[in-house]
């Protein structure tokens, strides 16, 4: 037995429907909300690079605003509308304008943006020069309005070799992959590539996308000559950041995925400039 769907008069349906704005209704609990909005928004973006070009990638956004105590909710769709106004370009130049538009469109005092993306760089092996693409998790953390903030975010993999293991062992020393995460308040033009370079230079050795045997020998021996605890890593990165004029207050954390322990080694430092 077949059923026939009733024919719907869309025009009449729209005329008869009153769309109540629940979000703008009053809330009697008298509690303001610091941040409300959308998270895990994936959106195509274009990022400027140090060489003067552009790179297409995908950003993962968190967009939020403050909500006064009298309003029940915010308008989620407006966050996406603002994001679409900027033609995919996310940079230090456009983020303040995005924050301004968020405040205007959502009638907020303060707006916040967090975006993370993978920045790819062409990287050559240290001996043979074999080239491959290396991906780094990068991002920006920003606020505009009653609170002003702009931070650069990077997460960089490095190789570390244990100084203690080297000192006490007759044969070799254990090493592992470490991850350096930095959040930096920018005091001027600060390229992501500059931050990555400073961090990579602080490890026992760098990671590479392509390594042939001569490269592997070089990297292994380089790490052996430059042992690093996580404590050494946060200090070495701090020294590099302290020497850069456009690096303001920063946080650095290092986590080593230990190769002979059933735990990770961790260190953290925050320095104000």
List the beta bridge partners of residue 251.
183, 270
Domains recognised in the chain with CATH numbers: 26-147 (3.10.270.10), 155-273 (3.10.270.10)
Given this model, what pLDDT does residue 15 score?
Answer: 63
Low-confidence ranges of the chain (pLDDT < 70): 1-28
Given this model, what pLDDT does residue 68 score?
Answer: 81
Cα–Cα distance for residue pair 139/244, rounded to 1 Å:
19
Cα–Cα distance for residue pair 160/178, rounded to 1 Å:
6
Prediction pTM value = 0.87
Given this model, what pLDDT does residue 273 score?
Answer: 84
pLDDT digits (tens, 9 = 90+) for 57-104: 999 999 999 988 777 777 889 999 999 888 777 777 889 999 999 999
């Amino acid at each position: 037995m077949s059923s026939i769907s009733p024919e719907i008069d869309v025009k009449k349906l729209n005329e008869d429907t009153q769309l109540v704005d629940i979000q703008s209704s009053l809330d009697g609990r008298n509690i303001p909300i610091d941040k409300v909005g959308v998270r895990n928004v994936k959106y195509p973006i274009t990022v400027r690079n140090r060489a003067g070009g552009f790179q297409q990638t995908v950003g993962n956004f968190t967009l939020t605003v403050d909500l006064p105590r009298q309003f029940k909710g915010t308008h989620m769709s407006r966050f996406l509308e603002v994001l679409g106004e900027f033609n995919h370009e996310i940079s230090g130049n456009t983020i303040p304008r995005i924050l301004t538009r968020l405040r205007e469109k959502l009638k907020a005092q303060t707006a916040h943006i967090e975006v993370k993306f993978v920045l790819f760089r062409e990287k050559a092996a240290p001996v043979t020069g074999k080239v491959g693409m290396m991906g780094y998790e990068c991002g920006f953390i920003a606020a505009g309005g009653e609170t002003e903030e702009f931070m650069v975010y990077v997460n960089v993999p490095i190789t570390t070799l244990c100084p203690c293991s080297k000192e006490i062992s007759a044969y070799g020393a254990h090493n592992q992959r470490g991850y350096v995460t930095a959040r930096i308040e920018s005091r001027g033009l600060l390229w992501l590539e500059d931050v990555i370079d400073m961090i990579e230079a602080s490890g026992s050795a760098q990671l590479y996308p392509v390594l042939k045997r001569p490269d592997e020998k070089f990297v292994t021996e380089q790490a052996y000559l430059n042992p690093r605890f996580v404590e050494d890593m946060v200090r070495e990165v701090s020294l590099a950041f302290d020497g850069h004029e456009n690096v303001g207050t920063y946080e650095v954390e290092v986590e080593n995925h230990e190769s002979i322990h059933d735990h990770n080694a961790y260190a953290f430092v925050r320095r104000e400039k």
